[in-house]
């Protein structure tokens, strides 16, 4: 089946004419038709756009102008502005927002000729870990429809896991690529902060937000990251350095690799089945020639409160532009300016978004700035410094992505704090701006579990090398839920 | 009982850039509504700011001119509040680490006394858009063309103690920013806006509560507004009231100030570093490179005009009143080989300035260029025309009738220097005035002036007065 | 630290998010729970630690002063909730 192929295989078959991009794209559109009503992983499907782009791609291929990814369809998280396509951020606020421009990532992939299948579901404004806060309803986990797919890029993870797209874009502010990748049994990488342009990505927390690929394998992610990453003059935080070839190191041996395993990542709260899966995966790495060393991340527990001060603080300001004046939702018949603001924002935003805006504004308000915001910024440095110190003794750090496998829909939606705490392994990485990968490593309670691999700045190629080598000796990444095979 | 007045000014100078501070949209004045508001300026989702290089050099220039510390690491912050003309719901500005730190400026009052006014800081920020009323009944229109225009907010210490001092400071700053070429100074278009913080206190007491006077677009009204506000505050306190901290508007028609916003409870701006922008780092070499390109500042120029060019204080002040004026003058002196600097100065301060004032033009708008005026002065210096004829020539040049030489030629204004022609005129006048010759010879030497006048009249003003004089004296011996 | 009605109303005003009278208590409780999480930061010794605003020690890049944007107001206002004569419209603001 086409949807079981690797990206390289797909590319090969497109080039040799075994199938066309139109056929490949139509295959995915058919699957979306068949499965997505139940799964709810797409907010918007764009069949006409997809087919017309596929036709263009086929011309390129025929003309011998194709790149590796030309003709391979992609699904964009609904946080990436897409010219002429509804870009909702899964919010009522933007339910009517037809973006008048492309995000840099969208433009890059368009230029290569990757047909856009549609826009994937997510937590509203990327604020969440379960994709339940979407205005369009929760996405289901393809492995178990009772479970959440994780979040915020839950739709993206679900479409990859269910074979409703071969590649998907995601964004990761506090774990939003890696945690859903773990919950859905797919591969996802959050690159170093600044590696992928944020231009045209609707901001949640600007100093954390980072886009990355979500695919079936590390190799696929490497190809996709090659296409997504690069300097963009329109983003002040975009890294002005040459973009490496992320596939260059895929085949390197892991012999001599020093894996740091922080004891703090295996403490109280970690599900014992998850712990077993992760430890088994690390043992697999040792078989490949890697060595395990103990490292310490003593300030790990401070990361969660620090993040939940800083990210909402930034968000409270980033989301002020949604005021019902220039775009997006406006309340019916506002009586005056304040009524326009208050009702547009109260009716347009969902509960969790409002909560984060309010708590973020509070953390910045007179009298609390030092105790909350500034303190959190200091902790951010301490958390970052922990990593820098740890990397003196190891090449990469491995541990769990999330403390549990996917939880059930509704299980935590009423208890934000416990939801926040479930991000404890991913958040420190965002505070530091480091790259990190999640690769499928097994199952716990019949739900997928990912292995978290964190590296020093700009070590994406190394992380993907490790993921790829692991995937040469394991087959977790090739598994698909029975009904979607 | 006496009162002490404390005034501090916040001046918003719009920097002369082609594009906005954080976007590539044009800053040109007067464009069609929202035609220069790009997605970044409109605060569209996903849009990001990138800092305009030009604002950095211009800010450093002002810092150097004010002898201020330059913020080698400056940071942009967000000032959060909701208003229709503020598209993102925050203004990007500099709070804790401004680009220009403490500096100072010397002002001179009308009576010649000098005073140093401290400049607390100058920071970069983006301007807001504009609200337009009356477009649709019951609605306010928003035009975001101005949103994102770069401003340098220059904050003074509360060092001024009268409306006159405040205006002297504001005028001096106005002159300075234009000299530096960092702001066009156009107050009508809002390129240079002065907000005054005014308070009064009894000598020795702590600072009183201040009121802020906003958006006054002429120096004359700034002075009047401050004076009226001082009176209002003193009367209020003396009658047992208290001053409240508020923004007040000056009403020029009624010559009063009135409260603009009474409730100021929403000013918890939640400043924090803008996460979309990174710290701006300025190296010493950058500062030195800018120092090297700094134009001569007005004070230095004025001093040099007096000491090196021998001008009077008055002429030096007039000729340095704007950079354009000073540059015009210096060019004029150079083009006339500095043969008669005083003559150049006189023409600039009288004929030229009078013509500009008459037509309400700036130096840049003058129809007569420095080259044109120099062409005329050269003809005065080589005796081709007299000073009186020069006035005719200048007016013709002003009307665009040609160069000085073309006009002199076309109108036949060249001085008569031919001895024979002058002698004929002299002889004719002397022959017609025998009784006046008698009087002259009897000792009434002032009759000489009478004869000169008659001869000049007969020549239509074109005879060379020196030659006429010489010849008369010789003939009357 | 727990929030009361006054604080919730204050935050509501700052953020222009309406909190209905009957919802104040619930919102206060949820926000208070989050503040309890924040309280965990107090114990950390951050003396001599500099605040960190960005993950990388990068500096601001500067853009040349060139006009690159064209008039797009028609395209942008096509998705505006209310616009007339090229202006965005809001309920009348009294100044």
Q: CA-based Rg of chain B, rounded to a whole angstrom? A: 30
Task: Give the pLDDT score at A400.
Answer: 98
CA distance A260 to A7: 31
CA distance A309 to C38: 7
Show Cβ contacts of residue A98 under 8 Å, excluding neighbours closer than 6 positions: A84, A85, A86, A87, C79
Three-state DSSP at C90 gives strand
Q: Residue A379 falls within a domain, yes or no?
A: no
CA distance B33 to B237: 46
Q: Measured between CB atoms, which of B49, B268, B278 is closest to A366?
A: B268
Inter-residue long-range contacts of A57-62, CB under 8 Å, 24+ positions, other chains counted: A57/A21, A57/A113, A57/A114, A57/A115, A58/A20, A58/A21, A58/A22, A60/A113, A61/A14, A61/A15, A61/A20, A61/A21
Residue whose entry in the numeric block shows the structure tokens 């095979």: A485
CA distance A149 to A138: 9
Share of chain B above pLDDT 90, in %: 71
Are B274 and B47 contacting, i.e. CB atoms less than 8 angstroms apart?
A: no
- Chain A residue with minimum CA distance to B274: A314
Average pLDDT over residues B248-257: 87
Say whether residue C76 is in contact with chain B using an 8 A CB cutoff: yes
DSSP state string for B387-429: HHHHHHHHHHHHTT---HHHHHHHHT---B--HHHHHHHHHHH
Model confidence at A353, pLDDT cuts 50, 70, 90, reads very high
Three-state DSSP at C93 gives coil
Average pLDDT over residues A298-312: 96
Residue whose entry in the numeric block shows the structure tokens 């480091």: A434
Phi, psi angle pair for B92, to nearest 5°: -85, 120
CB contact under 8 A, C49 and A357: no
Residue B261 has pLDDT above 70, yes or no: no
Q: Residue A378 falls within a domain, yes or no?
A: no
pLDDT digits (tens, 9 = 90+) for A147-205: 999 999 999 999 999 999 999 999 999 999 999 999 999 999 999 999 999 999 999 99
Residue B356 has pLDDT above 80, yes or no: yes
pLDDT digits (tens, 9 = 90+) for C57-75: 899 999 999 999 999 999 9
CA distance B282 to C29: 47
Best to test chain C binding among A133, A312, A313, A346 (most C CBs inside 10 Å): A346
Contacts of residue A369 in chain B, CB cutoff 8 Å? 270, 272
CB contact under 8 A, C38 and A377: no
- Domain, as residue range, for A93: 2-257+393-484
Contacts of residue C54 in chain B, CB cutoff 8 Å? 275, 278
Which A residues in the span 281-310 are in contact with C, Cβ-Cβ below 8 Å?
299, 301-302, 304-306, 308-309
Model confidence at B265, pLDDT cuts 50, 70, 90, reads low
Flag the least confident range among A62-76, A103-117, B374-388, B455-469.
B455-469
Burial readout B362-387 (b: 16 or more C-beta within 10 A, e: otherwise): ebeebebebebbbbbbbbbeeebbbe
For residue A467, give how far its alpha carbon lies from the nearest alpha carbon of chain B (Å).
31
Model confidence at B220, pLDDT cuts 50, 70, 90, reads very high
Contacts of residue A334 in chain B, CB cutoff 8 Å? none
- Distance spanning both ends of chain A, measured CA to CA: 9
Task: Give the pLDDT score at C1.
Answer: 65
Q: Measured between CB atoms, which of A98, A240, A372 is closest to C79?
A: A98
What number is the ipTM of this complex? 0.97
Are A205 and A194 contacting, i.e. CB atoms less than 8 angstroms apart?
A: no
Contacts of residue A96 in chain C, CB cutoff 8 Å? 79
CA distance B2 to C91: 48
Residue B419 has pLDDT above 90, yes or no: no
Task: Give the pLDDT score at C66.
Answer: 98
Share of chain A above pLDDT 70, in %: 100
- Chain A residue with minimum CA distance to C72: A100
Model confidence at C94, pLDDT cuts 50, 70, 90, reads confident
CB contact under 8 A, C66 and B19: yes
10 Å Cβ neighbour count for B85? 20
Residues of A belonging to the active site: 77, 152, 176
- The interaxial angle of helices A218-228 and A7-16, nearest 10 deg, is 70
Which A residues in the span 379-398 are in contact with C, Cβ-Cβ below 8 Å?
379-382, 384
DSSP conformational letter for A416:
H
Residue A247 has pLDDT above 60, yes or no: yes
Give CA torsion, residues A253, A257, A260, A266, to 10 deg.
Answer: 40
Six token digits for residue A395: 């090449």
Cis peptide before A152 (omega within 30 of 0): yes
Show Cβ contacts of residue B426 under 8 Å, excluding neighbours closer than 6 positions: B451, B455, B468, B471, B472, B475
Task: Give the pLDDT score at B266.
Answer: 56
pLDDT digits (tens, 9 = 90+) for A258-302: 999 999 999 889 999 999 999 999 999 999 999 999 999 999 999
Count Cα neighbours of A151 within 13 Å in the Cβ-side half-sphere. Answer: 33
Q: Measured between CB atoms, which of B45, B268, B271 is closest to A202?
A: B45
Say whether residue A234 is in contact with chain C using an 8 A CB cutoff: no
CA distance A221 to A198: 18
Model confidence at B476, pLDDT cuts 50, 70, 90, reads confident
DSSP conformational letter for A266:
G
Average pLDDT, chain A: 97
Model confidence at A129, pLDDT cuts 50, 70, 90, reads very high
Domains of chain C: which residue ranges? Answer: 5-41
Of B128, B122, B45, B29, nearest to B82 by C-alpha is B128
State which CATH number among 1.10.10.10, 3.40.50.280, 3.20.20.70, 1.10.10.410 fits the domain covering B419-475.
1.10.10.410
Q: Which chains touch C (3 or more CB pairs under 8 A)?
A: A, B
pTM comes to 0.91
Residue C85 has pLDDT above 70, yes or no: yes
CB contact under 8 A, C89 and B136: yes
CB contact under 8 A, B50 and A341: no
Give CA torsion, residues A75, A81, A84, A89, to 10 deg.
Answer: 80
Six token digits for residue A261: 């395993």
Strand ranges (DSSP E) for A216-307?
258-262, 291-295
Average pLDDT, chain B: 92
Say whether residue A432 is in contact with chain C using an 8 A CB cutoff: yes
- Chain B residue with minimum CA distance to A325: B84
Q: Which chains touch B (3 or more CB pairs under 8 A)?
A: A, C
CB contact under 8 A, A316 and C58: no
10 Å Cβ neighbour count for B181? 12
CB contact under 8 A, A236 and B46: no
Contacts of residue A306 in chain C, CB cutoff 8 Å? 41
Domains of chain B: which residue ranges? Answer: 4-285, 296-411, 419-475
Q: Is B253 left (phi over 0), alpha (psi -120 to 50) or beta?
A: alpha
Contacts of residue B145 in chain A, CB cutoff 8 Å? none
Six token digits for residue A195: 């590696």
- Whole-angstrom CA distances from B477 to B434, B438, B443 are 14, 12, 12
Residue B477 has pLDDT above 80, yes or no: no
For residue B311, give how far its alpha carbon lies from the nearest alpha carbon of chain A (Å).
52
Three-state DSSP at B447 gives helix
Model confidence at A222, pLDDT cuts 50, 70, 90, reads very high
For residue A431, give how far its alpha carbon lies from the nearest alpha carbon of chain C (Å).
7
CA distance B432 to A39: 120
Say whether residue B20 is in contact with chain A using an 8 A CB cutoff: no
For residue B77, give how far its alpha carbon lies from the nearest alpha carbon of chain A (Å).
11
Contacts of residue A357 in chain C, CB cutoff 8 Å? 15, 17
CB contact under 8 A, A326 and C76: yes
Which C residues in the span 12-41 are in contact with B, Cβ-Cβ below 8 Å?
13-14, 16
Q: Measured between CB atoms, which of B39, B80, B142 is closest to A320?
A: B80
Are B59 and B124 contacting, i.e. CB atoms less than 8 angstroms apart?
A: yes
For residue A436, give how far its alpha carbon lies from the nearest alpha carbon of chain B (Å).
22
Contacts of residue B42 in chain C, CB cutoff 8 Å? 76
- Whole-angstrom CA distances from A190 to A193, A399, A463 are 8, 15, 10
CA angle A300, A304, A306 (to 5 degrees): 100
Task: Give the pLDDT score at B77.
Answer: 98
Show Cβ contacts of residue B357 under 8 Å, excluding neighbours closer than 6 positions: none
CA distance A230 to A30: 33
Say whether residue C15 is in contact with chain A using an 8 A CB cutoff: yes
Task: Give the pLDDT score at B454.
Answer: 85
Average pLDDT over residues B122-137: 95
Are B324 and B175 contacting, i.e. CB atoms less than 8 angstroms apart?
A: no
Task: Give the pLDDT score at B255.
Answer: 86
For residue B252, give how far its alpha carbon lies from the nearest alpha carbon of chain C (Å).
17
CA distance B443 to B439: 7
CA distance B1 to A396: 77
Best to test chain B binding among C6, C58, C60 (most B CBs inside 10 Å): C60
**Alpha helix segments (H runs only) across B308-369:** 313-319, 323-335, 341-347, 353-359
Q: Residue A460 falls within a domain, yes or no?
A: yes
Which C residues in the span 66-95 are in contact with A, Cβ-Cβ below 8 Å?
72, 75-76, 78-82, 88, 90-93
């Amino acid at each position: 089946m086409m949807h079981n192929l690797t990206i390289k295989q797909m590319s090969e078959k497109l080039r040799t004419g075994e199938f066309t991009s139109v056929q490949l794209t139509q295959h995915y559109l058919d699957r979306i038709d068949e499965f997505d009503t139940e799964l709810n992983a797409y907010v918007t499907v764009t069949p006409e756009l997809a087919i017309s782009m596929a036709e263009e791609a086929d011309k390129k291929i025929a003309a011998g102008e194709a790149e590796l990814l030309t003709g391979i369809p992609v699904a964009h998280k609904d946080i990436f502005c897409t010219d002429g396509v509804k870009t909702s951020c899964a919010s009522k606020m933007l339910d009517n927002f037809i973006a008048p421009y492309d995000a840099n990532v969208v433009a890059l992939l368009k230029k290569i000729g990757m047909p856009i299948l549609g826009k994937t579901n997510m937590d509203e404004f990327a604020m969440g870990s379960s994709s339940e806060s979407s205005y369009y309803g929760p996405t289901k986990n393809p492995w178990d429809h009772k479970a959440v797919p994780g979040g915020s890029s839950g739709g993206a993870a679900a479409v990859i896991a269910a074979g409703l797209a071969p590649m998907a874009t995601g964004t990761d502010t506090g774990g939003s690529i890696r945690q859903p990748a773990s919950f859905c049994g797919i591969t996802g990488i959050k690159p170093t902060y600044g590696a992928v342009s944020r231009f045209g990505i609707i901001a949640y927390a600007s100093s954390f937000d980072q886009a990355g690929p979500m695919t079936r394998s590390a190799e696929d992610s490497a190809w996709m990251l090659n296409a997504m990453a690069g300097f963009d003059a329109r983003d002040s935080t975009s890294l002005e350095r040459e973009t490496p070839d992320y596939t260059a190191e895929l085949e390197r041996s892991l012999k001599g690799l020093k894996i740091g395993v922080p004891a703090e990542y295996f403490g109280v709260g970690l599900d014992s089945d998850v712990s077993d899966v992760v430890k088994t995966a690390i043992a697999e790495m040792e078989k490949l020639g890697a060595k395990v060393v103990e490292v310490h991340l003593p300030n790990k527990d401070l990361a969660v409160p620090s993040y939940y001060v800083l990210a909402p603080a930034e968000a409270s300001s980033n989301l002020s532009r949604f005021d019902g004046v220039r775009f997006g939702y406006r309340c019916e018949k506002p009586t005056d300016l304040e009524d326009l603001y208050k009702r547009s924002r109260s009716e347009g935003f969902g509960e969790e978004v409002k909560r984060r805006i309010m708590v973020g504004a509070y953390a910045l308000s007179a009298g609390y700035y030092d105790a909350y915001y500034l303190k959190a910024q200091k902790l951010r440095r301490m958390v970052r410094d922990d990593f820098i110190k740890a990397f003196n003794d190891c090449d990469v750090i491995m541990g769990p992505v999330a403390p549990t496998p996917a939880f059930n829909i509704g299980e935590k939606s009423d208890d934000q704090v416990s939801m926040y705490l479930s991000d404890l392994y991913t958040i420190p990485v965002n505070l530091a701006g480091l790259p990190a990968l999640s690769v499928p490593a097994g199952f716990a309670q019949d739900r997928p579990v990912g292995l978290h691999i964190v590296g020093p700045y700009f070590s994406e190629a190394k992380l993907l090398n490790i993921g790829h080598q692991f995937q040469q000796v394991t087959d977790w990444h090739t598994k698909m839920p029975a009904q979607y095979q | 009982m006496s009162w002490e007045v404390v005034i501090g000014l916040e001046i918003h100078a719009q920097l002369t850039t082609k594009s906005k501070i954080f976007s590539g949209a044009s800053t040109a004045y007067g464009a069609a509504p929202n035609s220069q508001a790009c997605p970044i300026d409109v605060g569209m989702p996903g849009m990001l700011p990138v800092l305009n290089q030009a604002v950095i050099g211009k800010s450093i220039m002002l810092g150097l001119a004010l002898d201020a510390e330059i913020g080698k690491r400056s940071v942009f912050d967000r000032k959060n509040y909701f208003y229709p003309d503020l598209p993102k719901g925050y203004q990007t500005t500099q709070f804790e680490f401004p680009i220009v730190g403490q500096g100072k400026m010397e002002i001179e009052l009308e009576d010649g006394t000098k005073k140093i006014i401290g400049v607390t800081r100058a920071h970069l920020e983006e301007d807001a858009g504009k609200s337009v009323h009356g477009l649709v009944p019951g609605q306010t229109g928003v035009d975001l063309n101005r949103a994102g225009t770069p401003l340098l907010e220059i904050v003074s210490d509360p060092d001024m103690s009268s409306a006159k001092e405040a205006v002297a400071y504001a005028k001096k700053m106005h002159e300075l920013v234009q000299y530096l070429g960092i702001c066009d100074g156009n107050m009508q278009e809002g390129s240079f806006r002065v907000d005054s913080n005014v308070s009064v206190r009894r000598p020795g007491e702590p600072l009183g509560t201040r009121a802020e006077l906003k958006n006054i677009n002429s120096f004359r009204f700034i002075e009047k507004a401050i004076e009226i506000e001082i009176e209002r505050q003193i009367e209020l306190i003396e009658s047992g009231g208290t001053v409240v901290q508020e923004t007040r508007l000056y009403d020029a028609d009624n010559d009063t100030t009135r409260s603009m916003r009474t409730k100021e409870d929403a000013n918890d701006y939640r400043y924090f570093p803008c996460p979309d922008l990174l710290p701006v780092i300025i190296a010493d070499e950058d500062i030195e490179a800018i120092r090297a390109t700094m134009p001569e500042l007005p004070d230095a120029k004025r001093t040099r005009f007096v000491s090196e060019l021998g001008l009077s204080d008055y002429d030096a002040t007039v000729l340095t009143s704007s950079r354009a004026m000073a540059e015009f003058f210096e060019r004029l002196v150079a083009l006339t080989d500095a043969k008669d600097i005083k003559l150049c100065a006189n023409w600039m301060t009288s004929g030229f300035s009078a013509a500009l004032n008459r037509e309400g033009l700036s130096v840049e708008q003058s129809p007569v260029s420095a080259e044109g005026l120099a062409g005329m002065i050269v003809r005065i210096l080589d005796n081709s025309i007299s000073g009186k004829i020069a006035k005719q020539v200048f007016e013709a040049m002003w009307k665009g009738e040609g160069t000085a030489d073309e006009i002199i030629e076309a109108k036949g204004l060249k001085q008569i220097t031919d001895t024979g022609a002058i002698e004929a005129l002299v002889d004719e006048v002397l022959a017609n005035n025998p009784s006046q010759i008698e009087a002259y010879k009897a000792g009434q030497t002032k009759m000489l002036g009478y004869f000169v006048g008659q001869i000049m009249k007969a020549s239509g003003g074109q005879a060379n007065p020196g030659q006429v004089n010489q010849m008369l004296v010789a003939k009357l011996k | 630290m727990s929030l009361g009605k006054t604080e919730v109303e204050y935050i509501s005003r700052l953020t222009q998010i309406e909190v209905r009278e009957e919802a104040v208590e619930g919102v206060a409780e949820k926000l208070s729970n989050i503040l309890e999480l924040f309280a965990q930061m107090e114990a950390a010794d951050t003396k001599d630690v500099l605040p960190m605003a960005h993950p990388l020690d990068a500096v601001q890049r500067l853009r040349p002063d060139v006009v690159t944007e064209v008039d797009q107001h028609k395209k942008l206002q096509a998705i505006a909730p209310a616009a007339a004569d090229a202006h965005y419209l809001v309920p009348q603001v009294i100044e």
